């Protein structure tokens, strides 16, 4: 056996022993609320396709039309010759949606976050991040070589103290808008005030709020009425609420020009396929024309929360389609996920290191494509599975210790 395999195997065994080993299930249908996975049909509550746009007939048709018009690959980076009118039109539509002067497309949210943070800061600067921020925001800070200070989840008081002590020239505060594994909102209004008081810049990653929150789907900034001055750097992704792929940064003319010159993950990578940009533009339009998607989703969230409360489940403080049930122990979370699957319900167990140790969970997500009957079915099965678990003393203790 090679020394490479010799070195890797013990880590894999350790992961398995900790119940943190990951395996991929194979999806054999389009993404949606009813999927075929590993050879079986099930009702799914775990995609980020919150508005049901990933397989929307008009979006699918737009991708097809886009391929006919533009071909498949963009063939180059944006700065060489890969920036098409489809990309440009989408950037203008995203700027208009978010009420920002300009928007810049990136090939993924991971790349947008790494690129922006590393372009705006260097080793003389300090970055302040919420402890529960997405991995891409932490990796961006590492890449920038700036000093990284993390504050307790949502703790503006701790951030304020850290900012007061900082002597760095540039100070960048970075937060998820909606926290991806918990579904709660960052306290952005106070974060923005605090950042302004300390002459720090605020960057908000609204991967899970974009398309979902706010009267017109412009995300958490629209919901909380936060202006360009308050949130000068706004990141949104296209692979979640919009159902396609890619990401964007919205901000001032100067910010966008600086990123075009300096963000490596923008400059040194192939532009998104133009047909995907075209399909995203159509997804945006459909979402404006089908406001029922957001209102129906809100109704489902209320239905789920009242039903779960009636079952005595410990709900998280979330008004978004992300409704985690925190179990605690990774083995228990996995076992629950398996029991749900045996009854035809797909919900992934999210374990460390994606979430803090001891906070493994079922990350339930709702979609506008779910019916009320789907949510009722979910509650029924959750009730049954929890009852069975309460027969098991260990498991019952683990559940009570959750959240």
Ligand X SMILES: *Cc1c(COP(=O)(O)O)cnc(C)c1O
Chain residues binding ligand X by CB under 6 A are 108-110, 113, 134, 136, 176, 180, 205, 207-208, 237, 239, 247
- CA–CA separation, 66 and 279 (whole Å): 7
Nearer Cβ to ligand X (191/381): 191
For ligand X, the closer of residues 108 and 126 by Cβ is: 108
Provide, rounded to whole angstroms, the least separation between the CB of residue 112 and ligand X. Answer: 7
Closest separation in Å from C-beta 335 to ligand X: 26
**Shorter beta-carbon distance to ligand X: residue 109 or 154:** 109
- Cβ proximity to ligand X: between 110 and 151 the closer is 110
Q: How far apart are CA 87 and CA 276, in angstroms?
A: 9
Residue 124 CB contacts under 8 Å (≥ 6 apart), including other chains? 146, 168, 169, 170
* Chain residue whose CB lies nearest ligand X: 109
259 vs 399, beta carbon nearer ligand X:
259
Min. distance of Cβ 105 from ligand X in angstroms?
A: 11
Stated as kind and residue range, the H or E segment containing 305 is helix 292-310
CB of 341 to ligand X, least distance (A): 23
**Closest-CA residue to 339 (of 379, 384, 275):** 384
Distance CA 272, CA 174 (A): 25
Structural contact between residues 100 and 291, judged by C-beta atoms closer than 8 angstroms: no
Taking a C-beta distance cutoff of 8 angstroms, is the pair 351, 384 a contact? no
Q: How far is the CB of 308 from ligand X (least distance, A)?
A: 23
Question: Alpha-carbon torsion 261, 262, 263, 264, what sign?
Answer: positive
Give the integer Cα–Cα distance in Å for 403 and 398.
10
Return the number of the residue (323 or 395) whose C-beta is nearest ligand X.
323
Nearer to ligand X, 87 or 134 (CB): 134
Alpha-carbon radius of gyration of the chain: 22
Shortest distance (Å) from residue 135 CB to ligand X: 8
Residue 208: CB minimum distance to ligand X, A: 6
Place of tokens 């079952």: 311
């Amino acid at each position: 056996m090679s020394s490479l395999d010799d070195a890797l195997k013990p880590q894999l065994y350790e992961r398995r022993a900790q119940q943190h080993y990951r395996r991929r299930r194979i999806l054999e249908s389009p993404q949606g609320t009813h999927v075929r996975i590993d050879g079986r049909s099930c009702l799914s509550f775990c995609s980020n396709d919150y508005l049901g746009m990933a397989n929307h007939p008009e979006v699918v048709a737009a991708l097809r039309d886009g391929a006919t018009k533009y071909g498949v690959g963009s063939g180059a980076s944006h700065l060489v010759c890969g920036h098409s009118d489809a990309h440009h039109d989408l950037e203008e539509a995203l700027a208009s949606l978010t009420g920002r002067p300009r928007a810049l497309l990136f090939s993924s949210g991971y790349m947008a976050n790494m690129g922006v943070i590393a372009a705006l800061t260097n080793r003389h600067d300090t970055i302040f991040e919420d402890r529960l921020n997405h991995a891409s925001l932490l990796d961006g800070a590492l890449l920038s070589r700036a000093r990284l200070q993390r504050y307790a989840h949502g703790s503006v008081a701790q951030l304020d103290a850290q900012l007061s002590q900082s002597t760095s020239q540039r100070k960048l505060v970075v937060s998820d808008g909606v926290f991806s594994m918990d579904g709660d909102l960052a306290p952005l209004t106070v974060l923005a005030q605090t950042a302004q008081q300390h002459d720090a810049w605020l960057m908000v990653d609204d991967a899970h709020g974009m398309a979902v929150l706010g009267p017109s789907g412009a995300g958490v900034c629209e919901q909380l009425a936060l202006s360009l001055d308050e949130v000068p750097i706004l990141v949104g992704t296209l692979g979640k609420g919009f159902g396609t792929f890619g990401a964007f940064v919205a901000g001032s003319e100067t910010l966008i020009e600086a990123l075009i010159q300096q963000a490596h993950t923008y400059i040194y990578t192939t532009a998104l396929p133009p047909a995907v940009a075209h399909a995203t533009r159509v997804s945006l339009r459909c979402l404006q024309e089908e406001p029922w998607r957001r209102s129906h989703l809100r109704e489902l969230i209320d239905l789920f929360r009242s039903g779960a409360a009636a079952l005595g489940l410990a709900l998280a403080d979330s008004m978004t389609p992300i409704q985690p049930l925190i179990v605690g122990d990774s083995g228990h979370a996995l076992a629950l996920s398996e029991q749900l699957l045996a009854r035809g319900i797909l919900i992934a167990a999210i374990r460390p290191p994606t979430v803090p140790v001891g906070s493994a969970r079922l990350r339930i997500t709702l979609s506008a494509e779910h019916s009320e009957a789907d949510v009722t079915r979910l509650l029924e099965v959750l009730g049954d599975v929890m009852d069975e678990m309460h027969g098991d003393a260990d498991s019952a203790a683990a559940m009570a210790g959750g959240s």
